[in-house]
Amino acid sequence: MLSIIYNCWRENPNLWSEQFNVGSEYMVHLCHSFNNVANGVAHLNGVHDTFRRLLEHDWLRQCAWGVSTSIHFLLKQLFKSPDHAVVSTIACPKGQTTNRAEVLPSNCCISVPLDCVNIQEFVNNMEIQLASVCQVCSEPLVRRYSFISMPKILIFDLSTHVPQLADVIMISTDRGMVKYQLKGVILYNNDHFMS
């Protein structure tokens, strides 16, 4: 994960230091450390270890040294933002009102459903079928997501199934199309995360 973030940053340090600064102090810390790597006074392995110790200090239960850490937890901490990227509402597929609306926690991670075959199709129509049913028509309810602001970075949680990945994803907004460029994929294999 760190190598994906570092490779992005290295393309244009000034731009990416700003893009990554969505509100998490961890990102500010990392970009500062990346400067030391670029200037030859630190090594990425050292940045990793220092960062890992920092997380252990702040989140001993979730990030104890030598113990597996949840990638979801890390991404949530790194890209935590005071702005809401998406809101979700729960709706009946036949249109009966459910008046259940909610705002998601503020970060830019989006969970992709297991049956998704193509991320672009998913963002065109972001819906996930729920286990609960409509009390009027007994059809399974759906959770619909919509963007309320466009974060500079989007993270898709692909779970155990990897859908088709395109280099570019286009998202239609009130202010026109927004283009997102794929920067990296984090895979889990043999008890390790790989970039």
Which spans of this chain sit near Zn ion (rule: CB under 5 A)?
Answer: 92, 94, 96, 134, 136-137
Question: Residues 78, 27: contact at Cβ < 8 Å?
Answer: yes
Closest CB 156 distance from Zn ion, rounded Å: 29
Beta bridge pairs of residue 180: 169
Nearer to Zn ion, 23 or 140 (CB): 140
Closest CB 143 distance from Zn ion, rounded Å: 14
Nearer to Zn ion, 136 or 194 (CB): 136
Closest CB 132 distance from Zn ion, rounded Å: 11
Q: Rounded to the nearest 5 degrees, what angle is found at the Cα of 163, between the Cα atoms of 158 and 168? A: 95
Closest CB 121 distance from Zn ion, rounded Å: 24
Question: Residues 184, 7: contact at Cβ < 8 Å?
Answer: yes
Nearer to Zn ion, 72 or 94 (CB): 94
Task: Tell me which amino acid residue 36 is.
Answer: N
Closest CB 89 distance from Zn ion, rounded Å: 14
* Residue facing Zn ion at closest CB distance: 134
Element holding 32 (H helix, E strand)? helix 25-38
Element holding 132 (H helix, E strand)? strand 127-133
Nearer to Zn ion, 134 or 155 (CB): 134
- Which position has the token pair 């729960």? 90
Nearer to Zn ion, 7 or 132 (CB): 132
Is the dihedral angle over the CA atoms 9, 12, 195, 74 positive or is it negative? positive
